Structure 1
Protein backbone atom coordinates (compact mmCIF):
# COMPACT_ATOMS: atom_id res chain seq x y z
CA UNK A 1 0.00 0.00 0.00
CA UNK A 2 1.44 3.35 -1.01
CA UNK A 3 1.61 6.38 1.31
CA UNK A 4 -1.13 8.06 -0.73
CA UNK A 5 -3.42 5.06 -0.25
CA UNK A 6 -2.68 5.00 3.48
CA UNK A 7 -3.55 8.70 3.81
CA UNK A 8 -6.72 8.16 1.77
CA UNK A 9 -7.71 5.24 3.99
CA UNK A 10 -7.11 7.29 7.11
CA UNK A 11 -9.11 10.17 5.68
CA UNK A 12 -12.07 7.91 4.92
CA UNK A 13 -11.92 6.37 8.40
CA UNK A 14 -11.74 9.81 9.98
CA UNK A 15 -14.74 10.97 7.94
CA UNK A 16 -16.72 7.88 8.96
CA UNK A 17 -15.89 8.46 12.62
CA UNK A 18 -16.99 12.09 12.37
CA UNK A 19 -20.24 11.12 10.65
CA UNK A 20 -20.89 8.50 13.32
CA UNK A 21 -20.21 11.01 16.10
CA UNK A 22 -22.52 13.58 14.47
CA UNK A 23 -25.27 10.98 14.09
CA UNK A 24 -24.86 9.95 17.73
CA UNK A 25 -25.01 13.58 18.84
CA UNK A 26 -28.18 14.19 16.83
CA UNK A 27 -29.76 11.04 18.25
CA UNK A 28 -28.85 12.02 21.81
CA UNK A 29 -30.06 15.58 21.29
CA UNK A 30 -33.35 14.34 19.89
CA UNK A 31 -33.89 12.06 22.88
CA UNK A 32 -33.16 14.94 25.26
CA UNK A 33 -35.51 17.23 23.32
CA UNK A 34 -38.40 14.79 23.46
CA UNK A 35 -37.87 14.39 27.19
CA UNK A 36 -37.80 18.15 27.74
CA UNK A 37 -40.94 18.66 25.66
CA UNK A 38 -42.81 16.16 27.84
CA UNK A 39 -41.66 17.58 31.15
CA UNK A 40 -44.09 19.05 33.63
CA UNK A 41 -43.62 22.23 35.59
CA UNK A 42 -45.55 23.07 38.73
CA UNK A 43 -46.27 26.78 38.96
CA UNK A 44 -48.29 28.22 41.80
CA UNK A 45 -50.62 30.89 40.43
CA UNK A 46 -53.36 33.12 41.72
CA UNK A 47 -56.58 33.24 39.74
CA UNK A 48 -57.23 36.43 37.77
CA UNK A 49 -60.98 36.51 36.99
CA UNK A 50 -61.57 37.59 33.43
CA UNK A 51 -63.41 40.84 32.74
CA UNK A 52 -66.18 41.28 30.20
CA UNK A 53 -67.30 44.88 30.66
CA UNK A 54 -67.19 47.10 27.57
CA UNK A 55 -63.98 48.90 28.51
CA UNK A 56 -62.18 45.63 29.28
CA UNK A 57 -63.32 44.00 26.04
CA UNK A 58 -62.05 46.96 24.02
CA UNK A 59 -58.72 46.83 25.85
CA UNK A 60 -58.57 43.07 25.26
CA UNK A 61 -59.31 43.55 21.56
CA UNK A 62 -56.47 46.06 21.31
CA UNK A 63 -54.00 43.79 23.14
CA UNK A 64 -54.94 40.81 20.98
CA UNK A 65 -54.42 42.83 17.81
CA UNK A 66 -51.23 44.63 18.84
CA UNK A 67 -49.25 42.25 21.08
CA UNK A 68 -48.64 39.40 18.66
CA UNK A 69 -51.64 37.18 19.44
CA UNK A 70 -53.06 37.60 15.95
CA UNK A 71 -49.75 36.58 14.36
CA UNK A 72 -49.90 33.12 15.95
CA UNK A 73 -53.60 32.55 16.51
CA UNK A 74 -55.06 34.45 13.55
CA UNK A 75 -57.61 37.24 13.46
CA UNK A 76 -60.40 34.78 14.27
CA UNK A 77 -58.44 33.06 17.03
CA UNK A 78 -58.64 29.67 15.32
CA UNK A 79 -54.90 29.23 14.73
CA UNK A 80 -52.42 30.31 12.10
CA UNK A 81 -49.38 28.76 10.43
CA UNK A 82 -46.78 31.46 11.08
CA UNK A 83 -43.64 29.57 10.14
CA UNK A 84 -43.17 27.17 7.21
CA UNK A 85 -39.69 27.24 5.75
CA UNK A 86 -40.45 24.60 3.12
CA UNK A 87 -37.74 22.38 4.57
CA UNK A 88 -39.74 20.59 7.24
CA UNK A 89 -39.97 23.32 9.87
CA UNK A 90 -43.61 24.23 10.51
CA UNK A 91 -45.04 26.05 13.52
CA UNK A 92 -48.66 27.10 14.00
CA UNK A 93 -50.58 28.50 16.92
CA UNK A 94 -53.66 26.59 18.11
CA UNK A 95 -57.34 27.47 18.06
CA UNK A 96 -58.17 29.54 21.17
CA UNK A 97 -61.56 30.77 19.98
CA UNK A 98 -64.70 29.23 21.49
CA UNK A 99 -65.21 27.20 18.28
CA UNK A 100 -64.76 23.51 17.35
CA UNK A 101 -61.27 22.18 18.00
CA UNK A 102 -60.40 24.85 20.56
CA UNK A 103 -57.62 23.97 22.99
CA UNK A 104 -58.92 26.24 25.77
CA UNK A 105 -62.29 24.58 26.39
CA UNK A 106 -62.78 24.34 30.11
CA UNK A 107 -59.88 26.63 30.97
CA UNK A 108 -60.23 28.04 34.49
CA UNK A 109 -58.89 31.49 35.44
CA UNK A 110 -55.82 29.73 36.88
CA UNK A 111 -55.27 27.87 33.59
CA UNK A 112 -55.27 31.14 31.65
CA UNK A 113 -52.69 32.61 34.04
CA UNK A 114 -50.40 29.58 33.70
CA UNK A 115 -50.63 29.58 29.92
CA UNK A 116 -50.22 33.31 29.29
CA UNK A 117 -47.77 34.30 32.00
CA UNK A 118 -45.84 31.07 32.48
CA UNK A 119 -46.04 29.00 29.28
CA UNK A 120 -47.53 26.02 31.10
CA UNK A 121 -50.69 24.11 30.17
CA UNK A 122 -53.45 22.92 32.51
CA UNK A 123 -51.79 19.49 32.69
CA UNK A 124 -48.49 21.02 33.80
CA UNK A 125 -46.76 20.43 30.46
CA UNK A 126 -44.73 23.28 28.99
CA UNK A 127 -46.35 25.01 26.02
CA UNK A 128 -43.71 24.89 23.32
CA UNK A 129 -45.32 27.42 20.97
CA UNK A 130 -46.46 30.00 23.51
CA UNK A 131 -44.00 32.95 23.87
CA UNK A 132 -44.94 33.65 27.48
CA UNK A 133 -41.74 35.56 28.20
CA UNK A 134 -43.42 38.41 26.30
CA UNK A 135 -46.56 38.24 28.44
CA UNK A 136 -45.22 37.31 31.87
CA UNK A 137 -45.32 40.95 32.99
CA UNK A 138 -48.92 41.58 31.96
CA UNK A 139 -50.80 43.38 34.72
CA UNK A 140 -53.83 41.65 36.17
CA UNK A 141 -56.15 44.11 34.41
CA UNK A 142 -54.57 43.51 31.00
CA UNK A 143 -54.58 39.74 31.46
CA UNK A 144 -58.23 39.82 32.60
CA UNK A 145 -59.18 42.01 29.63
CA UNK A 146 -57.34 39.87 27.09
CA UNK A 147 -58.91 36.65 28.36
CA UNK A 148 -62.35 38.26 28.48
CA UNK A 149 -62.00 39.29 24.84
CA UNK A 150 -60.79 35.86 23.70
CA UNK A 151 -63.72 34.17 25.43
CA UNK A 152 -66.12 36.50 23.61
CA UNK A 153 -64.66 35.94 20.15
CA UNK A 154 -66.95 34.46 17.52
CA UNK A 155 -66.58 30.64 17.45
CA UNK A 156 -64.28 29.46 14.66
CA UNK A 157 -63.13 25.96 13.72
CA UNK A 158 -59.48 25.07 14.19
CA UNK A 159 -57.19 22.64 15.91
CA UNK A 160 -54.15 22.10 18.09
CA UNK A 161 -50.76 23.74 17.71
CA UNK A 162 -48.39 22.46 15.03
CA UNK A 163 -44.74 21.96 15.98
CA UNK A 164 -42.70 20.22 13.30
CA UNK A 165 -39.01 20.70 14.00
CA UNK A 166 -36.21 19.22 11.88
CA UNK A 167 -33.83 16.88 13.67
CA UNK A 168 -30.97 19.43 14.00
CA UNK A 169 -33.34 21.97 15.56
CA UNK A 170 -34.61 19.37 18.04
CA UNK A 171 -31.02 18.49 18.91
CA UNK A 172 -30.20 22.16 19.51
CA UNK A 173 -33.17 22.37 21.86
CA UNK A 174 -32.24 19.12 23.57
CA UNK A 175 -28.70 20.31 24.30
CA UNK A 176 -29.93 23.64 25.68
CA UNK A 177 -28.83 25.82 22.76
CA UNK A 178 -32.48 26.85 22.36
CA UNK A 179 -34.95 27.38 25.18
CA UNK A 180 -38.71 27.25 25.53
CA UNK A 181 -40.47 30.19 27.18
CA UNK A 182 -41.09 28.38 30.47
CA UNK A 183 -37.34 27.92 31.00
CA UNK A 184 -36.66 31.64 30.48
CA UNK A 185 -39.22 32.99 32.96
CA UNK A 186 -38.74 33.77 36.63
CA UNK A 187 -41.95 32.09 37.78
CA UNK A 188 -41.59 33.49 41.30
CA UNK A 189 -41.98 37.11 40.19
CA UNK A 190 -45.12 38.83 41.44
CA UNK A 191 -47.44 40.21 38.75
CA UNK A 192 -46.48 43.60 37.38
CA UNK A 193 -48.14 46.62 38.93
CA UNK A 194 -50.08 49.05 36.71
CA UNK A 195 -48.27 52.12 35.40
CA UNK A 196 -49.72 55.34 34.08
CA UNK A 197 -50.77 55.04 30.44
CA UNK A 198 -48.91 57.81 28.66
CA UNK A 199 -45.80 58.82 26.76
CA UNK A 200 -43.42 58.13 29.63
CA UNK A 201 -40.49 55.82 30.30
CA UNK A 202 -42.37 53.65 32.79
CA UNK A 203 -45.14 52.89 30.33
CA UNK A 204 -42.56 52.34 27.59
CA UNK A 205 -40.81 49.76 29.77
CA UNK A 206 -44.12 47.94 30.16
CA UNK A 207 -44.72 47.94 26.40
CA UNK A 208 -41.15 46.71 25.78
CA UNK A 209 -41.95 43.40 27.46
CA UNK A 210 -43.48 42.33 24.15
CA UNK A 211 -40.01 42.53 22.54
CA UNK A 212 -38.16 40.13 24.86
CA UNK A 213 -38.84 36.88 23.00
CA UNK A 214 -36.92 37.97 19.89
CA UNK A 215 -34.63 40.74 21.09
CA UNK A 216 -33.57 39.14 24.38
CA UNK A 217 -33.97 39.95 28.05
CA UNK A 218 -31.65 42.97 27.71
CA UNK A 219 -32.96 43.95 24.26
CA UNK A 220 -29.47 43.50 22.83
CA UNK A 221 -30.62 41.36 19.90
CA UNK A 222 -28.94 38.33 18.42
CA UNK A 223 -30.07 35.11 16.79
CA UNK A 224 -33.81 34.62 17.21
CA UNK A 225 -34.42 31.49 19.32
CA UNK A 226 -36.01 28.74 17.26
CA UNK A 227 -35.90 30.70 14.01
CA UNK A 228 -34.81 29.13 10.71
CA UNK A 229 -31.12 29.49 9.80
CA UNK A 230 -31.87 32.06 7.10
CA UNK A 231 -33.61 34.45 9.51
CA UNK A 232 -31.52 37.56 10.23
CA UNK A 233 -30.49 38.25 13.80
CA UNK A 234 -32.80 40.42 15.88
CA UNK A 235 -31.63 44.01 16.04
CA UNK A 236 -29.99 45.55 19.08
CA UNK A 237 -32.56 48.00 20.47
CA UNK A 238 -30.34 49.72 23.02
CA UNK A 239 -28.69 53.06 22.15
CA UNK A 240 -25.09 53.15 21.01
CA UNK A 241 -22.94 53.75 17.97
CA UNK A 242 -23.93 51.43 15.15
CA UNK A 243 -27.01 49.95 16.83
CA UNK A 244 -30.38 49.96 15.08
CA UNK A 245 -31.80 52.80 17.18
CA UNK A 246 -29.40 55.27 15.54
CA UNK A 247 -31.57 54.97 12.42
CA UNK A 248 -34.49 56.70 14.15
CA UNK A 249 -33.89 60.36 14.85
CA UNK A 250 -37.24 60.86 16.55
CA UNK A 251 -40.46 59.14 17.58
CA UNK A 252 -42.09 59.99 14.25
CA UNK A 253 -39.49 57.98 12.32
CA UNK A 254 -39.84 55.11 14.77
CA UNK A 255 -43.64 55.11 14.49
CA UNK A 256 -43.44 55.23 10.69
CA UNK A 257 -41.36 52.02 10.75
CA UNK A 258 -44.08 50.28 12.79
CA UNK A 259 -46.69 51.22 10.18
CA UNK A 260 -44.70 50.54 7.02
CA UNK A 261 -42.30 47.75 7.98
CA UNK A 262 -39.47 49.79 6.46
CA UNK A 263 -36.37 51.52 7.77
CA UNK A 264 -35.96 55.26 7.13
CA UNK A 265 -33.88 54.45 4.04
CA UNK A 266 -36.79 52.49 2.55
CA UNK A 267 -35.35 48.99 3.01
CA UNK A 268 -37.75 46.34 4.30
CA UNK A 269 -37.32 44.78 7.73
CA UNK A 270 -37.66 41.01 7.73
CA UNK A 271 -39.32 38.74 10.31
CA UNK A 272 -40.82 41.48 12.54
CA UNK A 273 -44.56 40.90 13.24
CA UNK A 274 -45.79 44.05 11.56
CA UNK A 275 -49.32 42.67 11.37
CA UNK A 276 -49.46 43.35 15.10
CA UNK A 277 -46.99 46.19 15.41
CA UNK A 278 -48.92 48.21 12.87
CA UNK A 279 -51.94 48.10 15.19
CA UNK A 280 -50.15 49.70 18.14
CA UNK A 281 -51.48 53.08 19.15
CA UNK A 282 -49.44 56.25 19.12
CA UNK A 283 -49.06 56.36 22.91
CA UNK A 284 -47.56 52.87 23.11
CA UNK A 285 -45.15 53.43 20.21
CA UNK A 286 -43.91 56.79 21.48
CA UNK A 287 -43.54 55.50 25.04
CA UNK A 288 -41.58 52.52 23.73
CA UNK A 289 -39.28 54.81 21.76
CA UNK A 290 -38.72 56.97 24.84
CA UNK A 291 -37.86 53.91 26.94
CA UNK A 292 -35.45 52.42 24.40
CA UNK A 293 -33.64 55.75 24.12
CA UNK A 294 -33.31 55.87 27.92
CA UNK A 295 -31.43 52.56 28.17
CA UNK A 296 -27.68 52.46 28.78
CA UNK A 297 -25.72 52.51 25.51
CA UNK A 298 -24.42 49.22 24.14
CA UNK A 299 -21.35 48.49 22.09
CA UNK A 300 -21.63 48.60 18.34
CA UNK A 301 -23.67 45.80 16.74
Structure 2
Protein backbone atom coordinates (compact mmCIF):
# COMPACT_ATOMS: atom_id res chain seq x y z
CA UNK A 1 0.00 0.00 0.00
CA UNK A 2 2.78 2.42 0.91
CA UNK A 3 4.51 1.80 -2.42
CA UNK A 4 1.24 2.40 -4.28
CA UNK A 5 0.84 5.73 -2.48
CA UNK A 6 4.40 6.69 -3.36
CA UNK A 7 3.79 5.86 -7.03
CA UNK A 8 0.56 7.89 -7.01
CA UNK A 9 2.19 10.91 -5.41
CA UNK A 10 5.14 10.59 -7.77
CA UNK A 11 2.80 10.39 -10.75
CA UNK A 12 0.95 13.55 -9.74
CA UNK A 13 4.25 15.31 -9.19
CA UNK A 14 5.41 14.36 -12.69
CA UNK A 15 2.12 15.56 -14.15
CA UNK A 16 2.47 18.86 -12.30
CA UNK A 17 6.02 19.30 -13.61
CA UNK A 18 4.90 18.43 -17.16
CA UNK A 19 1.96 20.86 -16.92
CA UNK A 20 4.22 23.65 -15.65
CA UNK A 21 6.73 22.96 -18.43
CA UNK A 22 3.96 22.99 -21.06
CA UNK A 23 2.57 26.23 -19.63
CA UNK A 24 5.96 27.90 -19.73
CA UNK A 25 6.68 26.62 -23.21
CA UNK A 26 3.29 27.86 -24.40
CA UNK A 27 3.96 31.38 -23.12
CA UNK A 28 7.39 31.40 -24.78
CA UNK A 29 5.94 30.16 -28.07
CA UNK A 30 3.20 32.77 -27.89
CA UNK A 31 5.73 35.57 -27.68
CA UNK A 32 7.67 34.09 -30.59
CA UNK A 33 4.48 33.87 -32.66
CA UNK A 34 3.61 37.47 -31.86
CA UNK A 35 7.06 38.61 -32.98
CA UNK A 36 7.28 36.48 -36.12
CA UNK A 37 7.48 38.10 -39.55
CA UNK A 38 4.76 37.27 -42.07
CA UNK A 39 5.90 37.72 -45.66
CA UNK A 40 3.34 39.70 -47.67
CA UNK A 41 4.39 41.28 -50.98
CA UNK A 42 3.66 45.03 -51.19
CA UNK A 43 0.34 45.71 -52.90
CA UNK A 44 -0.43 49.45 -52.84
CA UNK A 45 -4.12 50.24 -52.79
CA UNK A 46 -5.37 53.25 -54.74
CA UNK A 47 -6.79 56.26 -52.91
CA UNK A 48 -9.78 58.11 -54.29
CA UNK A 49 -11.83 61.20 -53.51
CA UNK A 50 -14.74 60.21 -55.75
CA UNK A 51 -17.98 60.90 -53.81
CA UNK A 52 -19.64 57.69 -54.99
CA UNK A 53 -16.64 55.63 -53.91
CA UNK A 54 -16.55 57.36 -50.53
CA UNK A 55 -20.23 56.59 -50.05
CA UNK A 56 -19.51 52.95 -50.84
CA UNK A 57 -16.60 53.05 -48.39
CA UNK A 58 -18.83 54.41 -45.65
CA UNK A 59 -21.34 51.64 -46.29
CA UNK A 60 -18.61 49.00 -46.06
CA UNK A 61 -17.18 50.58 -42.90
CA UNK A 62 -20.57 50.59 -41.20
CA UNK A 63 -21.69 47.11 -42.30
CA UNK A 64 -18.54 44.97 -42.23
CA UNK A 65 -17.76 45.23 -38.53
CA UNK A 66 -15.29 48.13 -38.58
CA UNK A 67 -17.43 50.20 -36.22
CA UNK A 68 -17.58 47.36 -33.70
CA UNK A 69 -13.84 47.68 -33.03
CA UNK A 70 -12.99 51.22 -34.11
CA UNK A 71 -16.19 53.12 -33.44
CA UNK A 72 -18.38 55.09 -35.81
CA UNK A 73 -15.89 57.98 -35.90
CA UNK A 74 -12.82 55.71 -36.14
CA UNK A 75 -11.40 56.88 -32.81
CA UNK A 76 -11.17 53.40 -31.28
CA UNK A 77 -13.37 51.37 -29.03
CA UNK A 78 -13.10 48.90 -26.16
CA UNK A 79 -15.34 46.01 -27.17
CA UNK A 80 -14.42 43.16 -24.80
CA UNK A 81 -13.66 43.70 -21.12
CA UNK A 82 -14.82 40.83 -18.96
CA UNK A 83 -13.10 41.71 -15.68
CA UNK A 84 -11.29 38.36 -15.79
CA UNK A 85 -8.16 39.41 -17.61
CA UNK A 86 -9.55 39.88 -21.13
CA UNK A 87 -9.56 43.41 -22.52
CA UNK A 88 -9.65 44.05 -26.26
CA UNK A 89 -9.84 47.50 -27.83
CA UNK A 90 -9.49 48.65 -31.41
CA UNK A 91 -7.18 51.62 -31.96
CA UNK A 92 -7.84 55.10 -33.29
CA UNK A 93 -7.66 54.82 -37.10
CA UNK A 94 -8.21 58.48 -37.92
CA UNK A 95 -5.22 60.43 -39.24
CA UNK A 96 -4.37 61.33 -35.63
CA UNK A 97 -4.00 57.68 -34.67
CA UNK A 98 -1.99 54.57 -35.46
CA UNK A 99 -2.45 54.90 -39.24
CA UNK A 100 -0.91 58.38 -39.46
CA UNK A 101 2.17 57.10 -41.28
CA UNK A 102 0.45 54.37 -43.29
CA UNK A 103 1.48 53.97 -46.91
CA UNK A 104 -0.97 52.54 -49.50
CA UNK A 105 0.52 49.06 -49.09
CA UNK A 106 0.25 49.24 -45.29
CA UNK A 107 -3.53 49.52 -45.49
CA UNK A 108 -3.68 46.45 -47.72
CA UNK A 109 -1.42 44.44 -45.40
CA UNK A 110 -3.45 45.31 -42.32
CA UNK A 111 -6.92 44.81 -43.76
CA UNK A 112 -6.48 41.90 -46.14
CA UNK A 113 -3.65 40.05 -44.42
CA UNK A 114 -3.75 40.91 -40.72
CA UNK A 115 -0.15 42.09 -40.79
CA UNK A 116 1.42 45.27 -39.38
CA UNK A 117 3.64 47.70 -41.26
CA UNK A 118 6.72 45.84 -40.06
CA UNK A 119 5.36 42.40 -40.93
CA UNK A 120 4.16 41.25 -37.50
CA UNK A 121 0.74 39.59 -37.08
CA UNK A 122 -2.11 41.87 -36.06
CA UNK A 123 -3.85 40.11 -33.22
CA UNK A 124 -7.67 40.06 -33.11
CA UNK A 125 -7.94 41.91 -36.44
CA UNK A 126 -10.42 39.68 -38.36
CA UNK A 127 -8.65 39.90 -41.70
CA UNK A 128 -10.01 36.54 -42.84
CA UNK A 129 -13.32 38.43 -43.20
CA UNK A 130 -11.71 41.08 -45.41
CA UNK A 131 -9.16 39.03 -47.32
CA UNK A 132 -11.46 38.65 -50.33
CA UNK A 133 -12.42 42.33 -50.64
CA UNK A 134 -12.06 43.44 -54.24
CA UNK A 135 -9.59 46.18 -55.09
CA UNK A 136 -12.49 48.54 -55.77
CA UNK A 137 -14.10 47.93 -52.40
CA UNK A 138 -10.81 48.03 -50.51
CA UNK A 139 -9.95 51.34 -52.18
CA UNK A 140 -13.38 52.72 -51.25
CA UNK A 141 -13.09 51.53 -47.64
CA UNK A 142 -9.57 52.88 -47.13
CA UNK A 143 -10.41 56.17 -48.81
CA UNK A 144 -13.42 56.63 -46.57
CA UNK A 145 -11.40 55.91 -43.42
CA UNK A 146 -8.74 58.38 -44.57
CA UNK A 147 -11.48 60.99 -44.99
CA UNK A 148 -12.54 60.76 -41.33
CA UNK A 149 -11.65 63.92 -39.37
CA UNK A 150 -8.48 63.51 -37.27
CA UNK A 151 -9.44 63.08 -33.63
CA UNK A 152 -7.83 61.97 -30.42
CA UNK A 153 -8.65 58.39 -29.54
CA UNK A 154 -7.57 55.17 -27.90
CA UNK A 155 -4.75 52.72 -28.44
CA UNK A 156 -5.03 49.06 -29.37
CA UNK A 157 -5.30 46.72 -26.41
CA UNK A 158 -4.99 42.94 -26.61
CA UNK A 159 -4.95 41.53 -23.11
CA UNK A 160 -5.72 37.90 -22.35
CA UNK A 161 -5.28 35.67 -19.30
CA UNK A 162 -2.09 33.62 -19.45
CA UNK A 163 -3.90 30.35 -20.29
CA UNK A 164 -5.23 31.97 -23.48
CA UNK A 165 -1.71 32.99 -24.49
CA UNK A 166 -0.60 29.41 -23.84
CA UNK A 167 -3.29 28.09 -26.19
CA UNK A 168 -2.21 30.67 -28.77
CA UNK A 169 1.42 29.63 -28.43
CA UNK A 170 0.55 25.96 -28.79
CA UNK A 171 -1.39 26.68 -31.99
CA UNK A 172 -4.86 25.98 -30.59
CA UNK A 173 -5.94 29.60 -31.18
CA UNK A 174 -4.59 30.77 -34.55
CA UNK A 175 -4.33 34.41 -35.58
CA UNK A 176 -5.77 35.69 -38.85
CA UNK A 177 -2.35 35.96 -40.48
CA UNK A 178 -1.87 32.24 -39.85
CA UNK A 179 -5.21 31.30 -41.41
CA UNK A 180 -5.00 33.36 -44.59
CA UNK A 181 -3.56 32.19 -47.90
CA UNK A 182 -1.42 35.25 -48.59
CA UNK A 183 -0.69 34.09 -52.14
CA UNK A 184 -4.31 34.32 -53.34
CA UNK A 185 -4.86 37.16 -55.82
CA UNK A 186 -7.56 39.70 -54.96
CA UNK A 187 -11.15 38.67 -55.64
CA UNK A 188 -12.75 39.93 -58.81
CA UNK A 189 -15.89 42.09 -58.65
CA UNK A 190 -19.30 40.42 -58.79
CA UNK A 191 -22.32 42.45 -59.85
CA UNK A 192 -24.64 43.18 -56.94
CA UNK A 193 -27.90 41.27 -57.06
CA UNK A 194 -30.12 38.95 -55.08
CA UNK A 195 -28.28 35.80 -56.06
CA UNK A 196 -25.86 33.27 -54.59
CA UNK A 197 -22.82 34.63 -56.44
CA UNK A 198 -23.15 38.05 -54.82
CA UNK A 199 -24.15 36.42 -51.55
CA UNK A 200 -20.93 34.45 -51.49
CA UNK A 201 -19.00 37.70 -51.58
CA UNK A 202 -21.06 39.10 -48.70
CA UNK A 203 -20.60 35.88 -46.71
CA UNK A 204 -16.86 36.50 -46.44
CA UNK A 205 -17.72 38.79 -43.52
CA UNK A 206 -18.98 35.73 -41.58
CA UNK A 207 -15.82 33.61 -41.79
CA UNK A 208 -14.06 34.88 -38.67
CA UNK A 209 -16.80 33.63 -36.35
CA UNK A 210 -18.53 30.90 -38.34
CA UNK A 211 -15.47 29.43 -40.09
CA UNK A 212 -14.58 29.03 -43.75
CA UNK A 213 -17.22 26.31 -44.11
CA UNK A 214 -19.77 28.38 -42.12
CA UNK A 215 -20.60 25.46 -39.80
CA UNK A 216 -19.75 27.46 -36.68
CA UNK A 217 -18.34 26.22 -33.40
CA UNK A 218 -16.21 27.79 -30.70
CA UNK A 219 -15.01 31.22 -31.86
CA UNK A 220 -11.18 31.20 -31.86
CA UNK A 221 -9.84 33.56 -29.22
CA UNK A 222 -13.29 34.49 -27.95
CA UNK A 223 -13.93 34.77 -24.20
CA UNK A 224 -14.93 31.49 -22.52
CA UNK A 225 -18.48 32.70 -21.88
CA UNK A 226 -19.15 33.39 -25.55
CA UNK A 227 -21.56 30.83 -27.06
CA UNK A 228 -20.37 28.88 -30.10
CA UNK A 229 -21.11 30.39 -33.49
CA UNK A 230 -24.17 28.88 -35.13
CA UNK A 231 -24.04 26.39 -37.98
CA UNK A 232 -25.17 28.30 -41.09
CA UNK A 233 -25.00 25.31 -43.43
CA UNK A 234 -28.17 23.36 -44.31
CA UNK A 235 -29.35 20.23 -42.55
CA UNK A 236 -29.58 18.88 -39.03
CA UNK A 237 -28.15 21.16 -36.35
CA UNK A 238 -28.37 24.21 -38.58
CA UNK A 239 -29.61 27.55 -37.30
CA UNK A 240 -31.02 28.16 -40.77
CA UNK A 241 -34.02 25.90 -40.13
CA UNK A 242 -35.49 28.85 -38.23
CA UNK A 243 -35.50 30.93 -41.41
CA UNK A 244 -37.52 29.20 -44.15
CA UNK A 245 -37.60 32.38 -46.21
CA UNK A 246 -35.44 35.44 -46.80
CA UNK A 247 -37.88 37.79 -45.07
CA UNK A 248 -37.47 36.09 -41.70
CA UNK A 249 -33.69 35.91 -42.13
CA UNK A 250 -33.45 39.61 -42.94
CA UNK A 251 -35.72 40.42 -39.99
CA UNK A 252 -33.25 38.59 -37.73
CA UNK A 253 -30.35 40.65 -39.11
CA UNK A 254 -32.29 43.85 -38.47
CA UNK A 255 -33.55 43.00 -34.97
CA UNK A 256 -30.90 40.71 -33.48
CA UNK A 257 -33.68 38.32 -32.49
CA UNK A 258 -34.74 34.84 -33.55
CA UNK A 259 -38.29 34.35 -34.83
CA UNK A 260 -39.36 33.30 -31.31
CA UNK A 261 -38.19 36.66 -29.95
CA UNK A 262 -35.09 35.40 -28.14
CA UNK A 263 -31.97 37.55 -28.46
CA UNK A 264 -28.89 36.31 -30.30
CA UNK A 265 -25.65 36.90 -28.43
CA UNK A 266 -22.26 38.08 -29.73
CA UNK A 267 -23.36 38.69 -33.33
CA UNK A 268 -22.34 42.21 -34.48
CA UNK A 269 -25.86 43.42 -35.23
CA UNK A 270 -24.74 47.03 -34.95
CA UNK A 271 -23.02 46.41 -38.28
CA UNK A 272 -24.86 43.63 -40.06
CA UNK A 273 -28.20 45.21 -39.20
CA UNK A 274 -27.27 47.95 -41.68
CA UNK A 275 -26.83 45.63 -44.65
CA UNK A 276 -29.03 46.82 -47.47
CA UNK A 277 -31.83 44.59 -48.73
CA UNK A 278 -29.90 43.34 -51.76
CA UNK A 279 -26.89 42.28 -49.70
CA UNK A 280 -28.98 40.70 -46.93
CA UNK A 281 -31.17 38.75 -49.35
CA UNK A 282 -28.16 37.69 -51.43
CA UNK A 283 -26.49 36.37 -48.27
CA UNK A 284 -29.58 34.28 -47.58
CA UNK A 285 -29.57 32.98 -51.16
CA UNK A 286 -25.95 31.90 -50.82
CA UNK A 287 -26.51 30.14 -47.51
CA UNK A 288 -29.04 27.90 -49.24
CA UNK A 289 -26.30 26.61 -51.53
CA UNK A 290 -23.39 25.87 -49.19
CA UNK A 291 -22.53 22.21 -48.50
CA UNK A 292 -24.05 20.83 -45.32
CA UNK A 293 -21.61 20.18 -42.47
CA UNK A 294 -21.93 19.00 -38.91
CA UNK A 295 -21.99 21.89 -36.44
CA UNK A 296 -18.60 22.95 -35.18
CA UNK A 297 -16.53 21.84 -38.16
CA UNK A 298 -15.81 25.48 -39.03
**Global fold match (TM > 0.5):** yes
Counterpart position of 1:176:
171
**2:215 aligned with 1:220:** yes
- Distance in 2 between the 1:116 and 1:50 partners? 15
> Aligned-pair distance for 1:127?
0.8
> Aligned-pair distance for 1:50?
1.6
- Distance in 2 between the 1:133 and 1:72 partners? 15
> Aligned-pair distance for 1:287?
0.2
Counterpart position of 1:19:
16
Q: Specify whether residues 300 and 223 from structure 1 end up closer, same or farther in structure 2 by C-alpha distance, changes over 3 A only.
A: closer
Comparing 24-33 with 228-237, which one deviates more in the overlay? 228-237
Identify which of 25, 30, 46 aligns with 2:27: 30
Query: Number of aligned pairs?
Result: 296
**2:242 aligned with 1:247:** yes
Q: Secondary structure of 2:17's partner?
A: helix
Does the Cα contact within 8 Å between 2:233 and 2:292 map onto a contact in 1? yes
In structure 1, runs of 5+ residues without a counterpart are none
Counterpart position of 2:282:
287
- Distance in 2 between the 1:12 and 1:173 partners? 31
Does the Cα contact within 8 Å between 2:132 and 2:204 map onto a contact in 1? yes
Alignment of 1:156-175 (within 5 A): 156-175=151-170
> Aligned-pair distance for 1:296?
2.2
> Aligned-pair distance for 1:155?
1.8
- Distance in 1 between the 2:219 and 2:141 partners? 26
> Aligned-pair distance for 1:299?
4.0
Alignment of 1:60-139 (within 5 A): 60-99=57-96, 102-139=97-134
Does the Cα contact within 8 Å between 2:74 and 2:92 map onto a contact in 1? yes
CA RMSD of aligned residues (A): 1.4
**2:256 aligned with 1:274:** no
Does the Cα contact within 8 Å between 1:129 and 1:161 map onto a contact in 2? no
Q: Specify whether residues 300 and 30 from structure 1 end up closer, same or farther in structure 2 by C-alpha distance, changes over 3 A only.
A: closer
Does the Cα contact within 8 Å between 1:56 and 1:145 map onto a contact in 2? yes
- Distance in 1 between the 2:34 and 2:187 partners? 28
Counterpart position of 2:186:
191
Comparing 40-49 with 270-279, which one deviates more in the overlay? 40-49
- Distance in 2 between the 1:116 and 1:268 partners? 30
Q: Specify whether residues 69 and 300 from structure 1 end up closer, same or farther in structure 2 by C-alpha distance, changes over 3 A only.
A: closer
> Aligned-pair distance for 1:143?
0.4
Q: Specify whether residues 83 and 6 from structure 1 end up closer, same or farther in structure 2 by C-alpha distance, changes over 3 A only.
A: same
- Distance in 2 between the 1:72 and 1:23 partners? 35
- Distance in 1 between the 2:8 and 2:67 partners? 53
**2:53 aligned with 1:56:** yes
Q: TM-score, normalised by structure 2?
A: 0.95
**2:203 aligned with 1:208:** yes
